[in-house]
Structure 1
């Protein structure tokens, strides 16, 4: 097991991590006291499921009334009297609502917004997330008060740090929604000071920290073959440092996140060695395909003409498949069953006997196959992009509990000679526990840029460059008389680059203006290029692969007092020029960008 050091802070603090999942959500926490070794714990008692011993998660389900008010959350939604009241008062049931927040850049030809249960009228997804976070916080508060005494909670004040996780594929817009939801939930006060207590983390990196503390540093892992880098570093003892290169597959309800790291064994530290991957092929999509199969919309029409083919019964069958059949499926050679009715329910032509629908194991395997294939494809893409050979793969997340998924991935890894395993317990709490570990341990020393980042720009015309020559018809003359080409892209940080937490990436740009008023403000768009070109130069090529992430505004009015006019070559007036740097910091789990310039310097 990983050996954690005593907390070196000066006052008590609570670390609270929320793993908001598509199907289930969990909470982990740690009360840190100066000089004591931190212990990570999970909230294991929630309203309406107190009878479930040691339950670490609740269903990510919510009921809203017609006015958009929350009426029930989690296990509360499954209580008979709540279901009855919801039907009478026409409440809206929300499942899979997290997918409304997803990044639209995650490829999902098999799925669209139309396939999701609609949100309550006038209720955006960020407010739903805020309502759910408020519920999680209330649950955490009640549990911690009960477990550690109210006086302990009251001693914390505002010394609560929130670790909020999200899929690898979520980007700036989704991260901003999470931060806004934290304010809406009342976790923090609005403003910069409150937001400083919110820390965003990818689910892939959270799973890594969980695996570190539960698997990677165990004796079993230490006994595995070690892969060394081509140019091993020297450790403090003068010996070549040994490395283990791993991919963590966090298979959840909605997304499957893959992250590749190189692990230095002593002292324990990690470098991300390939851009993170994220695919919309979590366990809910197996259920989604099962529902479509039962309706007769897929490979073999099943109940389209059955007396049990009404939508309400099909939905009940799909729910039962989700909770039982899907979890128990292990052998494609054996028939599978959905027990949806009573002993009187029978329709032999449709393989329904004694309230059970009989399915062939081969048909159930087909429901899993797209997820298995997509995960393998993502793994191969990441393995190819990794700067070092992968020797181990670890499977975590709620979907990891599926023996069929584990078996399919295990066969592929075995064919490559790669060690493959999953935690033997609590795979569904990997993200929440790992998120707290991230705050305490900070084991990742560098991360790999997922895309190439830069800004739109113009390129100075070079007549000796064939590409420039082919674009001469678009060239234009600027105030200084130079010839420039539009629709260019200026890279600042390229895809796959390993970046440490404090490392800056910057590029210099300059502008010309006809008068000083145009020099008082700089507005720059930060753009991500999602393609495969190593040095993208033109935004009108593969235009659909360029995405604006954010806009930076800077007040540069103090520059104007130092700007000197230049005579235009035409002799008609003057112009002003000034330079600035666009600076990007990528080492933490959120991308940050800013504009830098020098004042009191004459241009």
Structure 2
């Protein structure tokens, strides 16, 4: 990665990145000082941190008491006193709540039935807002306590803060809008456009790439027009993204849509729990509480240390007096055959290998390297098995020396500073519902003759036509526009003052989808574009149908800018030979028809 240049701004400012995951979350930040090279730092201390892991992340859990009031968050929620109060006072825990924000219309291994219910009628957005508020408080306290003249430094920065919020690569506009709303609820920013401009959203895939670019991993990986796959192996999921370098470590392009597999490290632990429950049946240490305790110890130590199936693994759970030799328990530790432990990893290892091979086959460029990052990357057994399976295919497989649990948070700050990714790949086909003039010679039209709608011009049109604007697998750059021309007719001018257009996403396999009624389950509404078209209305033309009746006709273009981060939209029309633009608002949640090609 080219050396980062000194900050050119005139005032000192602060960038804070939140990586809020399903099970654990972390924060990284950067103080930008004029004339100085920005340095990425992490929040490495949280309240009650001795109760959690040592990689500067905290559990994404909250306890709520009566009337939905927050009682404890993060590592504080694991303290014995909190757990006791939670039981005595009937507090409710919120965990895995981020998954309630996921896209519901996608093929997923997760359903609402798989998730713990949200407490006290709280919404996932409200919980996210509470958690963001807590992370911000922790960040403020950390900076004030660890930097020279910390309180004065914070006072000079608190009204000059930009936020970088990461989210899974498959999340679209509706989820991004929810994240922004949560940031408002947290008090990070206001809801005015000026305030919202202080938030940048970045996918976890892009953040991971920037993390790798800022580590030694990327020094020689990008060369000869070849790509890399970044495997982020986390606690719950394994996410993959593929990129290649378009110009000397300064610009990168996504070369296939990202992938996600539900085989993170927590599933190794779950399989271990089931294995222990069966293995210890009949043992005096086989009750549920002992199994739960052994599972926790396996998760924290045994799982990470395991690296050789020919050697036994141990779970040290008790004192020297604890023994049950018939079940392999001596001196307070359970002895497990290494081959049994290896089997617990197999589904996750196989899932990663299949996913990497799928990315290789789908990528538009040959893959040269695979980077393994994320909390699960700390497992030597996972790393060794993946390396053994992938290197025979000519792949350079590696992981960084440093712990990569905060790759997303650090990478999000690097994205804020460097913006290296210039192009991504559209995962689906996007368009809108329109109408098309009836053609009595077209068999598809004849099948739908009963749905004909008469237009003011006297023409007949068929509804439920899908008009693609952006086709799947198209490369999307930050400023590239995608447009579609439309016409609409009415007997009164009043209908032309405003317009709402639903943007639809097609997630089927047809390379040229056309009729929505043929695969209705494959289409879902992404958002609604609202625009003030009173200016466009000035350009409408008065026309007459074949019977001499008057009607008005309007022509305009829908312009979508998908970009690297978020969807933007505009309406375009021609006025006295000059193109005009009108901003349009995108809200997630009149008949327009496709103009025939000239």
Query: What TM-score do you get using the length of structure 1 for normalisation?
Result: 0.87
**Does the residue aligned with 1:540 lie in a helix, a strand or coil?**
helix
Please give the per-residue CA displacement for 1:424-452, whole angstroms capped at 9, x wherever unaligned.
11211211111111011111121211211
**Does the residue aligned with 1:35 lie in a helix, a strand or coil?**
coil
Q: Aligned pair 1:482/2:459, yes or no?
A: yes
Distance across 1 between alignment mates of 2:117 and 2:53: 33
Distance across 1 between alignment mates of 2:156 and 2:6: 20
Q: 1:475 offset after TM fit, Å?
A: 4.3
Name which of 239, 252, 261 aligns with 1:270.
Answer: 252
**Does the residue aligned with 1:8 lie in a helix, a strand or coil?**
coil
Query: Closer, same or farther in 2 for the Cα pair 1:359/1:2, shift >3 Å?
Result: farther
Distance across 2 between alignment mates of 1:107 and 1:583: 28
Name which of 390, 407, 410 aligns with 2:367.
Answer: 390
**Does the residue aligned with 1:391 lie in a helix, a strand or coil?**
strand
Residue equivalent to 2:43:
43
**Does the residue aligned with 2:139 lie in a helix, a strand or coil?**
helix
Q: Is the 8 A contact 1:107 1:279 kept in 2?
A: no
Distance across 1 between alignment mates of 2:450 and 2:311: 67
Distance across 2 between alignment mates of 1:311 and 1:115: 22
**Does the residue aligned with 1:427 lie in a helix, a strand or coil?**
coil
Residue equivalent to 2:27:
27
**Does the residue aligned with 2:406 lie in a helix, a strand or coil?**
helix
Residue equivalent to 1:138:
137
Q: 1:559 offset after TM fit, Å?
A: 4.0
Query: Closer, same or farther in 2 for the Cα pair 1:310/1:91, shift >3 Å?
Result: farther
Q: Aligned pair 1:543/2:525, yes or no?
A: no
**Does the residue aligned with 2:119 lie in a helix, a strand or coil?**
coil
Query: Closer, same or farther in 2 for the Cα pair 1:51/1:464, shift >3 Å?
Result: closer
**Does the residue aligned with 1:531 lie in a helix, a strand or coil?**
coil
Deviates more, 1:305-314 or 1:148-157: 305-314
Please give the per-residue CA displacement for 1:523-558, whole angstroms capped at 9, x wherever unaligned.
111111122322221222332221211111222234
Distance across 2 between alignment mates of 1:337 and 1:190: 53
Q: Is the 8 A contact 1:134 1:186 kept in 2?
A: yes
Distance across 2 between alignment mates of 1:366 and 1:519: 65
Distance across 2 between alignment mates of 1:308 and 1:514: 81
Residue equivalent to 2:125:
126
Residue equivalent to 1:298:
none
Please give the per-residue CA displacement for 1:360-414, whole angstroms capped at 9, x wherever unaligned.
5444444433333333333333322221111111111112112222233223321
Q: Is the 8 A contact 1:562 1:601 kept in 2?
A: no
**Does the residue aligned with 2:88 lie in a helix, a strand or coil?**
helix
Q: Is the 8 A contact 2:539 2:554 kept in 1?
A: no
Distance across 2 between alignment mates of 1:226 and 1:263: 8
Residue equivalent to 2:425:
448
Q: 1:319 offset after TM fit, Å?
A: 2.7
Q: Is the 8 A contact 1:167 1:255 kept in 2?
A: no
Question: Following superposition of structure 1 onto structure 2, how do residues 509-524 of structure 1 map, counting pairs within 5 Å?
Answer: 509-524=486-501
Distance across 2 between alignment mates of 1:597 and 1:94: 49
Distance across 2 between alignment mates of 1:147 and 1:459: 64
Question: Following superposition of structure 1 onto structure 2, how do residues 12-411 of structure 1 map, counting pairs within 5 Å?
Answer: 12-49=12-49, 55-105=55-105, 107-109=107-109, 111-148=110-147, 149=149, 150-218=151-219, 221=220, 226-228=223-225, 244-264=226-246, 266=248, 268-293=250-275, 301-302=278-279, 311-342=288-319, 355-411=332-388
Query: Closer, same or farther in 2 for the Cα pair 1:583/1:360, shift >3 Å?
Result: farther
Q: Is the 8 A contact 2:13 2:33 kept in 1?
A: yes
Q: Is the 8 A contact 1:559 1:600 kept in 2?
A: no
Query: Closer, same or farther in 2 for the Cα pair 1:337/1:174, shift >3 Å?
Result: farther
Distance across 1 between alignment mates of 2:321 and 2:436: 76
Distance across 2 between alignment mates of 1:450 and 1:160: 32
Deviates more, 1:591-600 or 1:573-582: 591-600
Query: Closer, same or farther in 2 for the Cα pair 1:192/1:315, shift >3 Å?
Result: farther
Q: 1:54 offset after TM fit, Å?
A: 7.5
Please give the per-residue CA displacement for 1:198-242, whole angstroms capped at 9, x wherever unaligned.
111111111100100112443xx2xx69323xxxxxxxxxxxxxx
Q: Aligned pair 1:435/2:412, yes or no?
A: yes
Q: Is the 8 A contact 1:492 1:507 kept in 2?
A: yes
Distance across 2 between alignment mates of 1:80 and 1:260: 43
Q: Is the 8 A contact 1:131 1:185 kept in 2?
A: yes
Q: Is the 8 A contact 1:552 1:595 kept in 2?
A: no
Q: Is the 8 A contact 1:29 1:43 kept in 2?
A: yes
Q: Is the 8 A contact 2:422 2:564 kept in 1?
A: no
Q: Is the 8 A contact 1:92 1:120 kept in 2?
A: yes
Query: Closer, same or farther in 2 for the Cα pair 1:536/1:514, shift >3 Å?
Result: same
**Does the residue aligned with 2:564 lie in a helix, a strand or coil?**
coil
Query: Closer, same or farther in 2 for the Cα pair 1:344/1:390, shift >3 Å?
Result: same
**Does the residue aligned with 1:565 lie in a helix, a strand or coil?**
strand
Q: Is the 8 A contact 2:51 2:78 kept in 1?
A: no
Please give the per-residue CA displacement for 1:295-342, whole angstroms capped at 9, x wherever unaligned.
6xxxxx556777666554444343333222322232344444444445
Aligned length: 577
What residue ranges of structure 2 are gaps of 5+ in the alignment?
Answer: 579-594
Distance across 1 between alignment mates of 2:343 and 2:499: 54
Deviates more, 1:261-270 or 1:395-404: 261-270
Q: Is the 8 A contact 2:55 2:405 kept in 1?
A: no
Please give the per-residue CA displacement for 1:576-595, whole angstroms capped at 9, x wherever unaligned.
22122221112221222333
Q: 1:461 offset after TM fit, Å?
A: 3.6
**Does the residue aligned with 1:56 lie in a helix, a strand or coil?**
coil
Query: Closer, same or farther in 2 for the Cα pair 1:463/1:358, shift >3 Å?
Result: farther
